[in-house]
Structure 1
Amino acid sequence: MSTDCSTDYDVVIVGAGFAGMYQLHRLREAGFRVRVFDAATEVGGTWYWNRYPGARVDIESTHYSYSFDEELQQEWDWSERYAAQPEILAYARHVADRFDLRRDIAFSTRVEGLDWDETTQTWTVRTSPATAQGVQGAPGAPAEEIPHGGGQTWTARFVVLATGCLSVPQRPQFPGMEDFAGELCYTSDWPHDGVDLTGRRVAVIGTGSSGIQTITAIAEQTAALEVFQRTPNFAIPAHNRTLTDEERAAVKRDYAQIRAADRASGLGFATYDGTTPLTDHSAEEVERELDARWARGGLGYSRAFTDVMTNAESNEVLAEYAREQIRARVDDPELAELLSPRSYPLASKRMCVDTGYFEVYNLPHVHLHDASTHPVERFTETGLRAGGEDFEVDVIVLATGFDAMTGAITQIDITAGGLSLAQKWEHGPRTYLGLMTAGFPNLLTVTGPQSPSVLTNMLVSIEFHVDWITRLLTTMRERGLTRVEARPEAEDDWVQVNNDIAGASLMPQGASWYMGANIPGKERVFMPFAGGSHTYIGLVEGFTAANHHGFRFADCSGEQVPVRAA
């Protein structure tokens, strides 16, 4: 970067998950001085923290992996179609080892604040020591030996927020929580030494993805399992299994085609998207297609026809087919109905991929309770009270989700020009392309709000954003530029585009974490870009080719400089 405006680092990256790791690799490879800060004591991001029983990726492992290095692709073997958390964390550690990433990561360090100095055109990064429970350090190194940057300040020309979309837990407060004499666990911060639930009475509050995976994993070992469900979820079978040597070899031969198909798809992984609306097909043709999709399993179910997310009647056909499958798997008709979603369109809330979830309710010691009509009222010394009934349990598990997309960003005290980012986003996020927010120069986000992010294969979205940011900063360095920011009018247009696309679909009809509906007091705004990964990539590349439309640049003197496409 410019030698006239020196800083401790060219770029500070917040977060050492898959986004932060790749961003570090790309920028360091390009010759930038980079430092990463992460509150954990090891790489992995959400896969470091989320160690609850049954934690598993919901996109096939071969697609949920890096594509940037051919040797990495060829040397790593996935054991299952849908990898479990320990294997994904092992993969993250392998990548950190292979590219020697840890030497530029400050672990056990929380970024408390970011302050923009308009005079020097730099960010001041304020950090503090982070304490995590039961965590382990880098392989072969005690936690206390891992370098950290807590309790210090640093300056950087640019900051990249690779903080993750699902990294700030939602922790509801129930009356009497302090009275409970048993063990209280959170799926979002499961003890790293594990919890032995064998023969114990357990209550699980929440049936989103984390809840479904936990319930499925622990049901057999518990003496009694009380599940408190506020809203039932659509769950598509994973048909998970061990991959054969032949399958792994075939994937390695076909990686180029697999990655190309992923980047060209709406969800960021090949789902064999339908090309015609459901209304163009006979009932028999629709049933055959849904039978085939159900037999294959996975999140591609909702992509069977082009009008599933825009036509309520078409959506209901897929929803009713899914409910039929629940009725076929659950012995008790009343229980099957309680497990059947009816209050929102299919896929307007994040669909789940299950590995035998509905069948656990056929076990005599597993009981489902409708928390929408009989809510949890309070914790007691021996358990909890819901709907006027007391339940005695040894362990309570809170699977209550996250402050998605914006929570990890707004919990950092980010200020520029007297304005805090949390204030600016009080009524919902405002970004340009999900990459920057006007008024906060040189602050970039990976898979931020108003990008496709959580509606896609995150690895495809991460790689696209990281590659774009790397290209941007390299171009700026080549042209002697030190400042980039989103134009307010471009941001206004992008916010409107996001609202229009979401509003033309059925997506906002679900009271989902996409809308922030799970966070009390959070304004309901549909946060991700709903136009599809492939559409988004085309738009961003088009704006970039059009002389970085929507951005403005300046050199270290503050003089604005137009940047034409190379």
Structure 2
Amino acid sequence: MTTDKPTIVLDAVVLGAGVAGLYQLYQLRREGLNVRAYEAGGDVGGTWYWNRYPGARFDSEAYIYQFFFDEKLYKDWSWTQRFPGQPEIERWLHYITDRLDLRKDISFNARVESAHYDEDRGRWTIKTGAGDVIDTQFFVSCGGMLSAPLHDQFEGMKDFKGQIVYTSSYPSEGVDVKDKKVGVIGVGATGIQVVQTMAPECGHMTVFARTPQYVVAMKNPTLGPKEQDAYKARYHELKESIPHTFSGFEYDWDPKITWATATPEERLQHMEATYQDGSLKMWLASFGEIFFVKEISDAVSDFVADKMRQRLKNDPHLVDVLVPTLDDYGFGTHRVPLENKYLEAYLLPNVEAISVRKNRNPIKRFVEKGIELSDGRVVELDVVILATGFDAGSGCLSRVDVRGKGGVSLREEWGKDIRTTMGLGKVGFPNLLTTAVPLAPSAALCNMTTCLSQQTEWITELVKTMRAQGQTKIEPTDEGEDKWVVHHDSLANATLVPKTDSWYMGSNVPGKPRRMLSYVGGVGTYRKKCDEEAEAGYPSFVRS
């Protein structure tokens, strides 16, 4: 039973035991802090613990979705595919956890429910659903940018007599779909992976598609001993280059190939080459101008859309439902999914695609036997799989009762205006240090381990500096936060991204303040600005 009396006193609490939480725990423990991580799940892994739906896999190359602080740790694990699936990823995270002996400092099935700052003592009181009451100096959030799933979005869900499954909490034992009528709601990256994987197994699959996606065909070769040795030999090269690219991937924009200087033939050749790489290179290393110039965005969008139309055999209905048009949005202003025979799944005789756009035939409600559409049609179903997204960036901490100075609620603050200082802290919340929250690349636009490693390392250096100087409290200043928000917004508003409704802008959550969640200045630029902040003595913060 939870009481107000602390059951444990710590120097730091880490929220979450995913990629960021594991590394943050390791670093703070190494610096001699009495630190513990609290994880809502039953084991480590974060997103790779919760999202175990069929088809879940990396869209970052496995050999760069890595920790680079220890060469032996990196090289002692061998990936079997370029883009491995969830089971292998989860095994890797167990390997990391056990090699670093982290389990003894993690509490599982202990969701952080509240965190209240005591101004008189300069410390946080944190409570978990498991009954823990923790008194701690630092509260470090490593809860992830896609860890607050959206639930109960449709009327009548309790009336449905079949099985409803969320991809974000998919049963570990799986779901039996053989000979069953299965509905999939959502065609973002997750829905795409579900459709392409499960369609051949179902009796019949109906896909309810609202916003069509530009997709790129994944090339996912097996990695044998020769290929594993080859990428491991690049350890030092990757360690030095990846943190300074635009997106935290190994590829980057080629300054020698710009839209303005290339001939039409060279443009087509470069688009074809990046597309055929079968990775996110088409998005993050083709032409940087796609983010700024509509005419160039349109040209690249047409290129990708044409690839999709060909694969759909120019079927008018499927093209209409599944291929974005220039009136919808431009390639790259949404998150670009990689897929493996996703479009071909719709050519199977047991698969139907229905457009449920708001101006067409949206879902009206769930009924006893299935889903009723606005035109009155009832699609009878046995199983409904919901791939309906997340409250990204701000969602994790907004679902915790976080209260700073004067009892101010972080949820209420972000409900009015989503602001942070470099995505590392928030005015009014001393000693709250954050990763994967808005206004940093880790909120969407980067290879996650690259950005999360950088943020946790920055936090560790800050804590180390404070301890060396006898300081116990740090808080962003109003001026520092204002300056960062202005800088962030000026970059975001120079792009085409804010013109598109997507989770990048918080548009998928009713009432959420509209602001580009992720810093678009580039991973390398963000790292440089964070380093400059530290070297200048943290002028955007006040320490005492």
Name the TM-score class by shorter chain: over 0.9
8 A Cα contact 1:64 1:458, kept in partner: yes
Residue 176 of structure 2 is aligned with which of 196, 202, 206? 196
8 Å contact from structure 2 (residues 462, 534) kept in 1: no
Q: Specify the alignment match of 1:439 in structure 2.
A: 428
Counterpart for residue 261 of structure 2? 280
C-alpha displacement at 1:176, in angstroms? 2.1
SS at match of 1:467: helix
Among 378, 381, 400, the alignment partner of 1:412 is 400
Q: 1:157 aligns with which of 126, 134, 137?
A: 137
TM-score (norm 1): 0.91
Determine whether 1:488 maps to 2:478.
Answer: yes
Name 2:323's counterpart in structure 1: 340
**Distance in 2 between the 1:271 and 1:509 partners?**
26
Within 5 Å, which residues of 2 pair with 1:373-392?
A: 373-386=360-373, 387-392=375-380
Match status 1:428 vs 2:424? no
Counterparts of 1:498 and 1:333 in 2: how far apart (Å)?
Answer: 41
Q: Secondary structure at the match of 1:337?
A: helix
Aligned-pair CA distance for 1:196? 1.7
CA deviation vs aligned residue, 1:6-42 (integer Å, no higher than 9, x gap): x811100010111000000011111110011111110
Name the aligned partner's letter for residue 287 of structure 2. Answer: F
> How many Å separate the matches in 2 of 1:152 and 1:203?
40
How far apart are 1:543 and its partner, in Å? 1.7
Cα deviation for residue 241 of structure 1 reads 2.0
Q: Offset at 1:337?
A: 3.3
Structure 1 position 348, deviation (Å): 1.0
Give the counterpart letter for 2:199 in structure 1.
A
Which residue of structure 2 aligns with residue 50 of structure 1? 51
TM-score w.r.t. the length of structure 2 is 0.95
In the alignment, the residues of structure 2 paired with residue 535 and residue 81 of structure 1 have an alpha-carbon distance, to the nearest angstrom, of 27
1:455 aligned partner: 445
Alignment partners' CA distance in 1, 2:288 and 2:503? 24
SS in structure 1 opposite 2:507? Answer: coil
What do residues 422-467 of structure 1 show as CA deviations (whole Å, max 9, x unaligned)? 1221233211111011111110001221010120001000110111
Pair 1:399-2:382 in alignment: no
Is 1:178 paired with 2:178?
no
Residue number in structure 1 paired with 2:298 = 316
Instruction: Select 2:223's aligned residue among 243, 246, 249.
Output: 243
Query: Quick check: 2:209–2:321 contact (8 Å CA) kept in 1?
Result: no
Aligned to 1:184, the other structure's residue is in SS state strand
State whether residues 319 and 345 of structure 1, in contact with CA within 8 Å, keep that contact through their aligned partners in structure 2. yes
| Aligned partner of 2:507 among 517, 525, 540 | 517
Please name the residue that 2:208 is paired with.
228
Distance 1:199 1:325 in 2: 32
Q: What root-mean-square deviation, in Å, do the aligned CA atoms of Structure 1 and Structure 2 show?
A: 1.2
Partner in structure 1 of residue 90 of structure 2: 89
C-alpha separation between the residues in 2 aligned to 1:184 and 1:31? 46
Give the SS at the match of 1:426.
helix
Q: 1:436 & 1:201 partners in 2: Cα distance? A: 47
Matched, 1:367 2:352: yes
Aligned residues: 527
User: CA 1:211–1:22 in structure 2 vs 1: closer, same or farther (change >3 Å)?
Assistant: same
Shift of 1:470: 0.8
Q: Distance in 2 between matches of 1:260 and 1:392?
A: 54
Query: SS in structure 1 opposite 2:127?
Result: strand
SS of 2:184's equivalent in the other structure is: strand
**Given the alignment of the two structures, is residue 499 of structure 1 paired with residue 489 of structure 2, yes or no?**
yes
Q: Which amino acid aligns with 2:261?
A: D
Q: Is the 8 A contact 1:13 1:35 kept in 2?
A: yes
> What is the CA-CA distance between 1:152 and the residue it aligns to?
2.8
Alpha-carbon distance in 2 for matches of 1:509, 1:64: 30
Deviation at 1:51, TM superposition (A): 0.7
Per the alignment, residue 470 of structure 1 pairs with 460
Q: Show structure 2 runs of 5+ residues with no match.
A: 1-7
Corresponding position of 2:42: 41
TM-superposed CA distance for 1:381, in Å, is 1.5
**Matches of 1:167 and 1:283 in 2, distance apart?**
43
1 CA distance for matches of 2:427 and 2:252? 37
Distance 2:513 2:33 in 1: 38
Distance in 2, Cα, partners of 1:184 & 1:116 = 39
Cα shift readout 1:77-107 (whole Å, capped 9, x = no counterpart): 0111101111111111111111110101111
In 2, Cα distance between equivalents of 1:41 and 1:152:
16
Secondary structure of the 2:234 match is helix
SS of residue in 2 equivalent to 1:278: coil
Q: CA deviation at 1:535?
A: 0.7
> Which residue number corresponds to residue 257 of structure 1?
237
* Runs of at least 5 residues in structure 1 that lack an aligned partner in the other structure: 1-6, 129-149, 555-566
- In the alignment, the residues of structure 1 paired with residue 167 and residue 417 of structure 2 have an alpha-carbon distance, to the nearest angstrom, of 27
Matched residue, 2:309: 327
Q: Which moved more, 1:423-432 or 1:282-291?
A: 423-432
User: Counterpart amino acid of 1:445?
Assistant: T
CA apart distance, 1:334: 3.2
Query: What SS class does the counterpart of residue 505 from structure 1 fall into?
Result: coil
